Structure 1
Amino acid sequence: MTLGRGLQHLGRLLLCALLTVTASTHGSDEDSKAGQGPKPASPTRVLFVGNSYLYYNDSLHNHVKRMVEELRPDIADHLKYKSATIGGARLSHHNIDWLLTPGQIGVAEPFELVVMQGGSAEVLSDDARSRFYATASTYADKVRESGAEPMLYMTHAYVPPHRRARPGMIDEVAAAYLEAGKQAEARVVPVGLSFDESYRRRPEFNLHMSFDGTHPNIRGTYLAACTVYLSLYGGSLEALSYDYFGELPPEEAAYLRSVATAVVDDFAGH
């Protein structure tokens, strides 16, 4: 699939997701802009909250931090990144009050930005999705009260051999995260869309663990880290040399950076 066709599909996917959100909720034009507000230009104290999707492959936060250290030497010495993960957890399983309390997890000052990830199946049923929306909104309010900006980490879709893998799952996931971002007034990191775009360009280029079709392999984690970096800090990945200490071949790392860049740019445009 060519780049143009892939991004045209991404635009259609976002439009479908936005139409789904619009059909299910009614709000002002200002409300519909949730998730696109101002962001910290250079957050140095960042907390990630989620499950095994984050801690696989040496933990997502470590990869993002290494990218920041290389690309943002002006803040490299001030970075305090933390990740709070529970295997198989939904967002509501985390004690957000405790995590946000300065000093509880080794960071004396309040966090500046908190990235929250829901469970992979948390948006796939009406009841669970409603609870996720409520939790995301409540936690986002608590994050703002602590002085930080909340963000939501859009999960990727399942692929075979996962028993719940099905075509079009990412449409449902994307719509749910856009709605959650709207209700919580939080920006969304489009990791799931990056996975989808990569599979559309190169279907045989696997981003998942082959044994379960749900957890990311190192390619998937690297792609997610690139998507997170661009969503948090903006700028460009063109000069990035980080490749997980040679674990990713240069061509693969460059390809994944290009996918993340295209998706984040397109997502911001919608």
Structure 2
Amino acid sequence: MIRHACSLAGAMLLLASSSALAQEGTPETLRQILFVGNSYFYYNDSIHNHLNRMLAEAEGRSDDDLLPFRSITISGGSLDHHPYEHYLTPGAIGYDEPFDAVILAGHSAAANSDNRRARFRDAVLAANELITEHGAETVLYMTHAYGEGHENHSPEMTHNLESLYTEVAAEIGATVIPVGLAFAKAYKEQPDLELHVEFDHSHPNLAGSYLAAATALATLYGVSPVGLEYDYYDRLDPETAAFLQQVAADTVAEFNGN
């Protein structure tokens, strides 16, 4: 897994470490993952479930043989709302073994003001300290921008989210899942595509959650989602699924400089 930095120094450091990170981020090491976030995770049967099923197919396992992924969300919540020490204590949330990675998703508006950006950074740094103390890897889930129908929609929102997540990730040496960039790429290539629910233009619809999971698969495991048969049990049409798989693979490759 390679980090994406905004500064030249940060980029050089992260590129130098990419080989080791790629070796760490393999199916053999990232087996127990905790997702910490908000409703962007849990819509549409939760991103962690889609990722788990995609990975199972990629590894030749069935849906009856899934990995111990856990998602804890607070509706409308920010990262500083979560009690990480409790989550990470063995046995506290039903897992006796420590997590291999913790994926953090900030509030959807985390990059919308200087105060929010500072709050996000402080929360991530504090969480990362606890996560690393418990032997896990911190991963940042770059959220997507609001859709055009949202009252706070801005053409700059994706860029602002990218800069926030990559800057904080470079500071702590964390991996970034570039979901926000995948959304932007998908909309650019297919402007009529719908990735947000129509009633608030904020939360992901099924296609949006599928794209997010495919992006996470490519980022965390170095596995291309292209060609997967998983379509959430025929709920996503094959053409859309194939398009989203390709967007996810291309986004991660571009983000990693490949």
TM-score > 0.5, shorter chain as reference: yes
The equivalent of 2:50 in structure 1 is 63
1:111 alignment partner in structure 2: 99
Matched, 1:201 2:186: no
Deviation at 1:184? 2.1
**Offset of residue 168 of structure 1:** 2.1
Give RMSD over aligned pairs.
2.2
Q: Quick check: 1:229 aligned with 2:214?
A: no
Cα distance in 2 between the residues matched to 1:75 and 1:185: 34
How far, CA to CA, are the matches of 2:115 and 2:220 in structure 1? 31
Deviation at 1:240, TM superposition (A): 1.1
Distance 1:204 1:41, change over 3 A: same
Q: Deviations over 1:17-66 (max 9, x none)?
A: 95xx44xxx96676565994613312110110000000000011110011
Shift of the 208–35 alpha-carbon distance from structure 1 to 2, 3 Å rule, reads farther
In structure 2, the residue corresponding to 1:56 is in which secondary structure?
helix
Match of 1:153 in 2: 141
Are 2:38 and 1:51 equivalent residues in the alignment? yes
Q: Secondary structure at the match of 1:161?
A: coil
Classify the secondary structure of the residue corresponding to 1:269.
Answer: coil
CA contact (8 A) 1:98 1:104 kept: yes
TM-score when normalising by structure 2? 0.90
Is the Cα contact below 8 Å between 2:217 and 2:224 reproduced in 1?
no
Write the distance in 2 (CA, Å) between the matches of 1:196 and 1:157: 8
Q: 3-state SS of the aligned residue for 1:106?
A: coil
Runs of 5+ consecutive residues of structure 1 not aligned to the other structure:
1-16
Letter in 2 for 1:56: Y
| Contact 2:142–2:176, Cα closer than 8 Å, also in 1 | yes
Q: 2:112 aligns with which of 124, 137, 150?
A: 124
Q: How many residues align?
A: 249
Q: Aligned equivalents of 1:78 and 1:66: distance in 2?
A: 7
Residues 98 and 216 of structure 1: is their aligned pair in 2 closer, same or farther, counting only changes over 3 Å? Answer: same
Q: Does 1:240 align with 2:228?
A: yes
TM score, norm. by length of structure 1: 0.86
Asked if the contact 2:37/2:79 (under 8 Å) is kept, the reply is yes
Residue equivalent to 1:96: 84
Closer, same or farther in 2 for the Cα pair 1:75/1:142, shift >3 Å?
farther
Question: Structure 1 residues 41 and 182 mapped into 2: Cα distance closer, same or farther (>3 Å)?
Answer: same
In the superposition, relative to structure 1, how do residues 54 and 126 fare at CA in structure 2: closer, same or farther (>3 Å)? same
Match in the other structure for 2:255:
267
Structure-1 separation of matches of 2:235 and 2:35: 24
Amino acid paired to 1:67: M
Asked if 1:186 corresponds to 2:171, the answer is no
Q: Percent identity between the aligned chains?
A: 41
CA distance in 2, matches of 1:95, 1:150: 15
Matched, 1:81 2:66: no
What is the aligned counterpart of 1:136 among 114, 124, 148?
124
